[in-house]
Amino acid sequence: MTILKEKPSAETEAMRRWAIQIIDRYSGVPMSEQAQNELFTGILSTAFFDNADFSSSTFNSTNFDKAAFRRSSFNAAVFEGPSFNTARFEHADFRNSVFPAADFRGADLSTARIDATTNTNPQIE
């Protein structure tokens, strides 16, 4: 089911539909049509952090690729080399944090709040 962790594309449509059908058939709990559509059009995250408090945390060379940080707080956090490729930061809050060497390529920060005291240079645009 690794195909569901990859970004959807025209080349993977048939394989993604097949994987979703297998999960739906053998999970014992049928998926709604909406859940199937969300899985088909989205990326399956490898880790979920809802309402997590990462205040005063230091992230060193950790791989958080494809993780979801929903409504998580990053107050005075230091990011020294972790990878957040294609991670989602839904309504996450960054305050007084420093990003000297973090990799956020492809990350969705569109709904994140990043205050003026956060040093994002040059990692977050």
pLDDT-above-70 percentage for the chain: 90
- pTM of this prediction? 0.58
Give yes or no: residues 80 and 51 share one domain.
yes
pLDDT score of 37: 80
Number of structural domains found in the chain = 2
The 10s digit of each residue's pLDDT in 62-119 is 778 878 888 999 999 888 878 888 888 999 999 988 877 788 888 888 899 988 777 7
- Evaluate the CA torsion angle 13, 85, 66, 42 in order and state its sign: negative
Give yes or no: residues 56 and 89 share one domain.
yes
Which residue type occupies 62? T
The CATH code of the domain that includes 102 is 2.160.20.80
Range of the domain at 61: 46-125
Give yes or no: residues 35 and 63 share one domain.
no
Give yes or no: residues 76 and 124 share one domain.
yes
Give yes or no: residues 35 and 81 share one domain.
no
Rg (CA), the chain: 17
Q: How far is CA 58 from CA 13, 22, 35, 73, in A?
A: 39, 39, 35, 13
**How many CB atoms within 10 Å of residue 24?**
15
Give yes or no: residues 23 and 52 share one domain.
no
